[in-house]
Amino acid sequence: MTTNKNETNKLLLTTGMAWLFDAMDVGMLSFIIAALKTEWNLSESQMGWIGSISSIGMAVGAIFFGILADRFGRKDILIITLLLFSITTGFSAFTTTYTLFLILRFFVGAGLGGELPVASTLVSENVPFKSRGRIVVLLESFWAGGWILAAVISYFIIPSWGWRVALLISALPAFYALYLRYGLKESMVVWNKKIKKQPLLKENLLNLWNSHYYKTTIMLWIVWFMVVFSYYGMFLWLPSVVILKGYGLMHSFGYTLIMTLAQLPGYFVAAWLIEKWGRKWVLTTFLVGTAISAVGFGSASTLISLLLFGILLSFFNLGAWGALYAYSPEQYPTSVRASGTGIAAGVGRLGGILGPLMVGEMLTKQYSFTIIFSIFCIAILFAVLAIIILGKETKGIKLE
């Protein structure tokens, strides 16, 4: 475990940059979907599948790479996942068919889905327990930086240079993976040698459902499913929703950029509160704020209300994400920590498949945005109930 402040900051920056690149890809996809609708004449249902196929890949990647990280170590798996999503993102820039684009998006999602829980586990195991929650939330704040960068690139690049150039820019993190190979330290080396003797899948899954952890596993699976379902259903459609509410492509990108900027203060407030209130109540509070903001955004009929609730939605939802990534790795012992977090994230990605598809299908059937975003509100409140009833506070608990 790192006790030196400089080492902690270096670890945060190193893994945070990988997180930023992942977010840049996800954020850029929301703008690319809006551009592809025009270029490839896509239906709302086809637009929904682009987001959902990425979530299918993320589900597979989170579970598969999370289990591998418990067997082979966090560092190498982190590098592999970063390379996978970067290289396949670059290939997708050259696709000319909708089907091939979907196939490549699956592999992009697998790399991205594997990187996130592995990175948060690596950081959790290597920082002082008194500041662990704050550091992990700050790690998540790099996600906001990636979304902001995606919005800026999309606003200036896609209208003038096209979506292919934007995707090529998103593929550049492959070079960063080479730096990680030499600039990142493995966590708990002695333990890592011991864990290789354990079976890969069977023991991991059984441990998650033993008498000590089954309530935790149920809680995390419900929360991850509902949070990811609502996040990808709302945010992958964000620029398209603004367009469908009557604003042009350029205005949509600009307004989404404004909303995205609110993600950073959301993370910072959550990081400040998480060591004061604890993980459980920060996560609960920010999820309730997300639920209320979702209804307001879906019902917005003026530009002012659209921007206001869009800003609040970004603030509360991304703050909740930070708390969730801090909360999840603290629920399990070291031997199944990456597996437990990765499998919970994988279950969540199933929600990420359903969310974008549901929006596309409901828009095709001409349901109102008020109804659509009310469904997301109910899903988030269900996650809140699971945390209150089944969740335990992990503030100040030392990890094994």
Residue 74 in contact with residue 357, Cβ under 8 Å? no
pTM score, two decimals?
0.75
Spatial neighbors of 289 by CB under 8 A, at least 6 apart, are 312, 315, 316, 319, 320
Indicate the angle between helix axes 214-235 and 369-390, nearest 10 degrees. Answer: 160
Terminal C-alpha separation, the chain: 11
Average pLDDT on 92-111 reads: 92
Q: Minimal CA–CA distance to 31: which of 249, 244, 227? A: 249
> For the domain with range 5-182+204-390, which CATH number is right: 1.20.1250.20, 3.65.10.10, 1.20.140.10, 3.90.198.10?
1.20.1250.20
User: What does the alpha-carbon distance between residue 96 and residue 249 come to, in Å, rounded to a whole number?
Assistant: 22
Give the pLDDT band of residue 399 (cuts 50, 70, 90).
low
**To the nearest whole percent, how much of the chain has pLDDT over 90?**
22
Q: Can you give the pLDDT at residue 250?
A: 65
Range of 47-61, 198-212, 289-303 with top mean pLDDT:
289-303
CB 116 within 8 A of CB 62: yes
Q: What is the H or E stretch that residue 147 is in?
A: helix 132-161
Are 165 and 280 contacting, i.e. CB atoms less than 8 angstroms apart?
no
The answer on pLDDT for 3 being more than 70 is no
Average pLDDT, rounded, for the chain: 82
Cα–Cα distance between 91 and 76 in angstroms, integer? Answer: 23
Select from 373, 379, 230, 385 the least CA-distant residue to 299. 373
On the question of pLDDT at 136 being above 80, the answer is no
Question: 281 versus 115: which is more confidently predicted?
Answer: 281
Q: What is the structure's pLDDT at 68?
A: 84
Average pLDDT over residues 155-175: 84
- The model's pLDDT over 353-381, given as tens digits with 9 standing for 90+, comes to 888 889 888 988 889 889 999 999 999 99
- Please state which of the ranges 199-208, 323-332, 336-345 shows the lowest mean pLDDT: 199-208
> Which position has the higher pLDDT, 89 or 193?
89
Task: Supply the pLDDT for residue 186.
Answer: 61
Contact residues for 316 (Cβ-Cβ < 8 A; gap 6+): 266, 286, 287, 289, 290, 293
Tokens 């990808």 locate to: 232
Q: In angstroms, rounded to a whole number, what is the distance separating the alpha carbons of residues 387 and 215?
A: 10
Question: Between these two residues, 5 and 177, which has the higher pLDDT value?
Answer: 5
